[in-house]
Amino acid sequence: ETGVTQSPTHLIKTRGQQVTLRCSSQSGHNTVSWYQQALGQGPQFIFQYYREEENGRGNFPPRFSGLQFPNYSSELNVNALELDDSALYLCASSQDRGRGQPQHFGDGTRLSIL
């Protein structure tokens, strides 16, 4: 069973640029959630995709957007990057968005904004 994989592992960008982060969900999982984790803090929910549709969004501006593909892999796009966007971005997949389903995380993409 292949776990959740994210790419790239590290990325350096400058303010104002755009970035796309990628996530392959665990086999059999149809739900993907994205989180932002600043250094020394807990994860903050960005949004969730279930069967290719957005299924909930946290308190992030519209310049954070996403996609889920028919194979349930997902992308996180961030436009007009700001210094505060520097963080670890985590993707998690689950079998269903339903109650009690644990989310399985990738190792994350470390994004640094200069």
Partner 1 sequence: GNSVTQMEGPVTLSEEAFLTINCTYTATGYPSLFWYVQYPGEGLQLLLKATKADDKGSNKGFEATYRKETTSFHLEKGSVQVSDSAVYFCALSSSDSNYQLIWGAGTKLIIKP
Q: Which residues bind partner 1 (CB under 8 A)?
A: 33, 35, 41-45, 48, 55-56, 58, 90, 92, 97-108
> For residues 29 and 11, what is the distance between their CA atoms, to the nearest angstrom?
26
| Smallest separation (angstroms) from partner 1 to the CB of 15 | 26
Q: How far is the CB of 54 from partner 1 (least distance, A)?
A: 11
CB of 7 to partner 1, least distance (A): 13
Tell me the pairing of strands 5-7 and 53-57: unpaired
Could you tell me which of 14, 3, 37, 23 has the C-alpha nearest to residue 77? 23
